[in-house]
Amino acid sequence: MPAPLMHIDSSPSLPREADVVVIGGGVAGVFTAYYLARRGVSVTLLEKGRVAAEQSSRNWGWCRQQNRDARELPMATKSLDLWEKVAQETCEDTGFRRCGLLYLSQDENELAGWTKWRDFARTAGVTTHMLGAEEATERGKATGRKWKGGVFSPTDGTADTSKAVPVAARGIMAAGGTVHQNCAARGLELSAGRVSAVVTEAGTIRTKTVVMAGGAWASSFCNQLGIRFPQASVRASILAVAPGASELPDALHTARVSLTRRGNGGYTLAISGRACVDPTPQQFRFGREFVPMFARRWRSLVPGGAKGWCAGHETLAKWALDDVTPMERNRILDPKPDMGQIRLTHQRACELLPELKRFAISDAWAGYIDSTPDGVPAIGEVEGIPGFILAAGFSGHGFGIGPGAGHLIADIITGCDPIVDPGPYRPERLKMAAWGKVAEF
């Protein structure tokens, strides 16, 4: 059950060479290629299925600074500005709006945590408003209940997940780059230890620089090169209701359920943090490193089934470059949603916002959210393989920071001043991440 997604055409033919090849047509890969193409770099984007058909169309669309870990906050702030500019640069609508995000709570501990974050955010120049009981109740009047307090982050926003990334992919082609869908990268060729080509199912592309932005598939690809990238994913389920409700907030988080207005006027509904753990070979391999993260989240994680094992994205198998790979066998990672959770989400949303009772579920889908052990993405050149840049592990919050991540990678490749300090994202930190600091929020 895929999420609603705009179709885009691919470029006509695969080039034989390129300055940079980007693997993966999600938000990270697309914005990397977008900023490279706009700088005149010859860049080719490879996507094994359809642009944005995995995590990057299946998410809520929140582009937030609110409650970000300190390591990601500068990138989140820059990304909000970049989201605004993409619409001007492409003359197309990504659905991005700074509508503000509303958080409501009845829990003193939760409110205290938000107050602590507000105090920290001030030091980074980020504005966020704590709401007292009266103001929270007023802003949350669609719920018809009294709230102890909340937060409103006026400079945050949402983008339309059904078209934002495809629009940016068209921007790559408009700026002179190429985009190839249904074209999996099978592996790399190295010469004297550094990248010299990408082998795809449709031919080989000579290049000195490759960006691996394959989302949940990144670690299994790295494994072919002997690179140990600790990554694991969980399956989150989400639903949409048809347009028609008029009195609801654009974006609302509560502990029981959250909602987001979609580009078509409908709403996405989900339970924050709730996900199924489908065991995979990779989870066993990196299990020890993920203990702190899973321990912190154990209340919201439930055991899943064999779907993840069968999907192939977290395989430990090695494959040959002249044969069909797991990426071609599974063009789009499209796990089944947990229907029990879908019904619970809808029920909770109708209890919270009675207006929603008039609207049936129009769509339901799931997505595998890929994480690193410390909840912060791995972005940067991999030690030991010059020319191989990793950009994955966005840990459930990569959509909002996609433009900033892509810009940073383009800066690294072209030797420009980086838009943010790349230090917190360096992949080599994960060698020691086993018991490191897990992202706070």
Chain contacts with ligand FAD (rule: CB under 6 A): 23-29, 46-49, 53-56, 58-62, 184-185, 213-217, 221, 236, 238, 327, 367, 369, 392, 394, 396-400
Q: Please compute, for residue 154, the number of CA atoms within 13 A of its CA located in the half-sphere on the CB side.
A: 6
Q: Which residues are within 8 A (CB) of 240 and not within 5 positions of it... i.e. 6 or more apart?
A: 3, 4, 262, 266, 267, 268, 269, 361, 362, 363, 364
| Phi–psi pair at 34, nearest 5 degrees | -60, -50
User: Which residue's CB is nearer to ligand FAD, number 104 or number 364?
Assistant: 364
How many Cβ atoms are within 10 Å of 324's Cβ, its own excluded? Answer: 12
Q: Name the minimum Å distance from CB 396 to ligand FAD.
A: 5
Q: Which residues are within 8 A (CB) of 250 and not within 5 positions of it... i.e. 6 or more apart?
A: 97, 99, 100, 158, 260, 261
Tell me how many degrees the CA angle 237-179-84 measures, rounded to the nearest 5: 65
User: Which residue's CB is nearer to ligand FAD, number 137 or number 404?
Assistant: 404
Strand partners, 238: 365
User: Which residue's CB is nearer to ligand FAD, number 56 or number 345?
Assistant: 56
User: Which residue's CB is nearer to ligand FAD, number 164 or number 352?
Assistant: 164
User: Which residue's CB is nearer to ligand FAD, number 175 or number 391?
Assistant: 391
Q: Name the minimum Å distance from CB 381 to ligand FAD.
A: 17
Q: Name the minimum Å distance from CB 60 to ligand FAD.
A: 3
User: Which residue's CB is nearer to ligand FAD, number 9 or number 417?
Assistant: 9
User: Which residue's CB is nearer to ligand FAD, number 121 or number 218?
Assistant: 218
Q: Name the minimum Å distance from CB 164 to ligand FAD.
A: 10
How many Cβ atoms are within 10 Å of 311's Cβ, its own excluded? Answer: 22
27 membership: H or E segment, kind and range: helix 27-38
| Phi–psi pair at 107, nearest 5 degrees | -115, 120
Q: Look at the chain and count its residues.
A: 441
User: Which residue's CB is nearer to ligand FAD, number 135 or number 189?
Assistant: 189
User: Which residue's CB is nearer to ligand FAD, number 400 or number 427?
Assistant: 400
Cα 164 to Cα 98: distance, rounded to the nearest angstrom? 14
Structure tokens at 209: 């620089």
Residue type present at position 109: N
How many Cβ atoms are within 10 Å of 360's Cβ, its own excluded? Answer: 9
User: Which residue's CB is nearer to ligand FAD, number 29 or number 171?
Assistant: 29
Q: Are 260 and 158 in contact, with CB atoms under 8 Å apart?
A: yes
Q: Name the minimum Å distance from CB 424 to ligand FAD.
A: 16
Cα 319 to Cα 95: distance, rounded to the nearest angstrom? 40
Q: Name the minimum Å distance from CB 138 to ligand FAD.
A: 25
Structure tokens at 361: 């579920």
User: Which residue's CB is nearer to ligand FAD, number 25 or number 387?
Assistant: 25
Closest CA to 71 of 301, 384, 372: 372
Closest CA to 419 of 32, 7, 120, 47: 32
Q: Name the minimum Å distance from CB 238 to ligand FAD.
A: 5
Q: Name the minimum Å distance from CB 75 to ligand FAD.
A: 11
Cα 392 to Cα 124: distance, rounded to the nearest angstrom? 25
Per DSSP, 8 falls in state -
Give residue number: closest CB to ligand FAD.
26
Q: Which pairing describes strands 101-105 and 178-180: parallel, antiparallel, or unpaired?
A: unpaired
Q: Which residues are within 8 A (CB) of 81 and not within 5 positions of it... i.e. 6 or more apart?
A: none
Q: Name the minimum Å distance from CB 345 to ligand FAD.
A: 11
Q: Name the minimum Å distance from CB 54 to ligand FAD.
A: 4
Cα 171 to Cα 34: distance, rounded to the nearest angstrom? 6
Q: Name the minimum Å distance from CB 258 to ligand FAD.
A: 9
